[in-house]
Amino acid sequence: MLYPKIPLAQSVIQLCKAKNIKHIVISPGSRNAPLTIGFSNDDFFTCYSIVDERCAAFFALGMAQQLQHPTALVCTSGSALLNYYPAIAEAFYSGIPLVVLSADRPKHLIGIGDGQTINQKDVFKNHILYSANLKLNVDDEFNPNEEDEPAIFKSLENKLERFLGIKQELQQDNETEINKALNKAIQKNGPVHINIPFDEPLYEVVETLSVKPKNIQPELKQSKIDDYIFNGCLDDWNQATKKMILVGVNQPNDIDQKWLDELAKDNSVIVFTETTSNLHHQGFFPSIDKIIAPLDETDFKELQPDILVTFGGLIVSKKIKAFLRKYQPKQHWHIDEHDANDTFFCLEKHLQIHPNQFFENFLPKITHFVKSDYKTNWEVVKDKRIERHSDYLKQIPFCDFKFFENTLKALPNNSVLQLGNSSTVRYAQLFDMNKTIQVFCNRGTSGIDGSTSTAIGYSVVSDRQTTLITGDLSFFYDSNALWNNYIPNNFRIIVINNQGGGIFRILPGNKNSDYFDTYFETSHNLTAKHLCKMFGFEYDMASTEKQLKLQLKTFFEASETPKLLEVFTPRTVNDEVLLEYFKFIK
């Protein structure tokens, strides 16, 4: 086997291997050649070449989202590294493990006007779990010609001894830093950055490793809640007659079904689930906005919980956030091993434990259900909303709303749905989801960038068919995602082309003016057809409900290439239909 000659590159590669980081996404470059040589010549690793670093980072994020284990990114020096930033921020706020391995120039070549050189040290400091800034093996740290060195170092023998000592010390320091970074990504589920300076020559190889870095195992800490806090939670829970559980972004199958069944039995508990929660129970309340959007002040006071329990990632629904900020619960507990956001400005307890572990310890100790009609009353409201929802869909023209009604029903069982941001994920929230489908969306930063790249990365390491539903602006913004040689033939993209940023027509603003069309909605006449031809996708389109239904009948069938379906909806109708919907269902 061939290895890079540079010991620092050997150390990084061997420690990634020791920690079972197998998937390596590499963007072409010269300064990162030692890493590229090492990873690509070792059969333990699966390497991917993605030219566009922004796409590469989201591609790696999609893989890590599915694997729940770090994937690594490798880039050259300079602005290449900065193109990772959107995905790094998404990983930071979504709790997705990424390892960024950036090649850098040696210290003496930084800040002198050399090409492809920026200040890479701590470049992600506001959105990273750990930054390791490695040091070159001796060259930049030892200068044998220093005039002010102590007399003891004047002899050649002492200089050599000092040189070897510094070399060994640097190797140990670098190993420690690499271990810290990789362990942090694994333990804390988030992004880390390892900045690695290399000096020329960069392409030399050897057949034998010159270093054997020590693999430092992460410290395993048992999650446990203090008995005093735990018993206090039990006492408060047993007395409260109105308890609300709100679940944000959540991994599929993360909570045992028996605990979901227990929660559904309790009439004092309402469980609100978002589409991205991947939790399903007939006794729960999905489609939050459908339930609460038409409420008046009296209704809100009736719904106001005594105790709010949250777990999972960030919440999509603006309406539930506005409600709970104005009508705050007496207590808000958040259950999460790592972080707790004070989203509703009333967070009282951060229970640092996995939700499944919490319910396993907590629910069996509840010996009786407090008498309450909290859930029963709101189930009546839910049933009425479902009926009105169905009635409304029967009377509206073809639009974004009708698109989601038809498309979500057509998704194959046991498949994966990746959603674009803005109006796409919000429309999906209004419909009950097939419980066999796993749903994902980049809700950490909620940006439109990277949705396609993320979905493709997920599909590459998943044994389920993956479908991306995305808006036109998000799709065109990330069109370089299709410049990718690893897309499975069963991967599907459905683009809702409403000729602009439809979300801005729903938000308050002065619509139908020149500046609105240009600077907010960004209206356009682009289509995906020529992109599909260039990147080898089978292309189909629909512009009526009849055409959409016809296309969906065969769209998910096996094919020799990935497929894209572009659905054209009326730009100036969609917003009026959606705004009228919330009036109609009241």
pLDDT tens digit sequence for 68-82: 999 999 999 999 999
pLDDT at 509: 63
Which among 515, 537, 516, 518 is positioned nearest to 528, based on CA atoms?
537
Sheet holding 563-568, edge to edge: 438-441, 416-419, 466-471, 492-497, 563-568, 538-542
pLDDT at 160: 61
b/e burial code for range 112-125 (CB count within 10 A of at least 16 → b): eeeeebbebeebbe
Nearest-angstrom CA–CA distance, 54 and 185: 20
pLDDT tens digit sequence for 479-537: 999 999 999 999 999 999 998 766 665 666 666 666 666 666 677 889 999 999 999 99
Say which residue the tokens 């409201």 belong to.
381
Stretch among 165-179, 226-240, 453-467 having the lowest mean pLDDT: 165-179
Q: Are 250 and 313 in contact (CB under 8 A)?
A: yes
Phi, psi angle pair for 148, to nearest 5°: -100, 15
Nearest-angstrom CA–CA distance, 314 and 276: 10
pLDDT classification of 143: cutoffs 50, 70, 90: low
Which has more confidence, 501 or 433?
A: 433
Nearest-angstrom CA–CA distance, 374 and 224: 31
pLDDT tens digit sequence for 214-268: 999 988 877 889 999 999 999 999 999 999 999 999 999 999 999 999 999 999 9
pLDDT at 477: 95
Q: Are strands 3-4 and 205-206 parallel, antiparallel or unpaired?
A: antiparallel
Mean pLDDT of 272-281: 97
Q: Secondary structure of 454-486 in the HEC alphabet? A: HHHHHHHCCCCCEEEEEEHHHHHHCHHHHCCCC
pLDDT at 274: 96
3-state SS, residue 74? strand
Nearest-angstrom CA–CA distance, 430 and 443: 17
3-state SS, residue 496? strand
Token pair in block for residue 58: 């989201």
**For residue 168, pLDDT beyond 70:** yes
**For residue 146, pLDDT beyond 70:** no
Strand partners, 439: 417
pLDDT at 523: 77
Nearest-angstrom CA–CA distance, 332 and 449: 33
Nearest-angstrom CA–CA distance, 49 and 21: 17
**For residue 425, pLDDT beyond 90:** yes
pLDDT classification of 572: cutoffs 50, 70, 90: confident
pLDDT at 222: 76
pLDDT at 164: 64
**For residue 573, pLDDT beyond 70:** yes
The string of DSSP letters for 523-573 reads -----SHHHHHHHT-EEEEE-SHHHHHHHHHHHTS--SS-EEEEEE--TTT
Separation of CA 485 from chain center: 22
Strand partners, 196: 103
pLDDT classification of 586: cutoffs 50, 70, 90: confident
Chosen CATH of 3-206 out of 3.40.50.1820, 3.40.50.970, 2.40.340.10, 1.10.10.1100: 3.40.50.970
Say which residue the tokens 């291997």 belong to.
17
Which has more confidence, 224 or 414?
A: 414
**For residue 151, pLDDT beyond 60:** no
Q: Tell me the chain's radius of gyration from C-alpha atoms.
A: 27
User: Spelled out in words, what is the top-level CATH class assigned to the domain 227-380?
Assistant: alpha beta
**For residue 155, pLDDT beyond 80:** no
pLDDT at 167: 79
Could you please state the CATH topology (level 3) that the domain comprising 396-584 is classified under.
Rossmann fold (3.40.50)
Which among 99, 85, 133 is positioned nearest to 13, based on CA atoms?
99
Q: Are strands 71-75 and 98-104 parallel, antiparallel or unpaired?
A: parallel
Establish whether domains 3-206 and 396-584 are of one fold: yes
**For residue 154, pLDDT beyond 60:** no
Mean pLDDT of 201-222: 92
Separation of CA 507 from chain center: 25
Nearest-angstrom CA–CA distance, 559 and 565: 14
Helices (H), 344-442: 355-362, 374-393, 400-410, 423-428
Average pLDDT, whole number, for the chain? 93
Q: Are 37 and 66 in contact (CB under 8 A)?
A: no
Q: How far apart are the first and last CA of the chain?
A: 69
Would you kindly state where each structural domain of the chain is located, as residue ranges? Answer: 3-206, 227-380, 396-584
Nearest-angstrom CA–CA distance, 455 and 437: 15
Nearest-angstrom CA–CA distance, 382 and 376: 10
User: Which residues lie below 8 Å from residue 545, measured CB to CB, with a gap of 6+?
Assistant: 398, 402, 406
What whole-number percentage of the chain has pLDDT above 70? 91
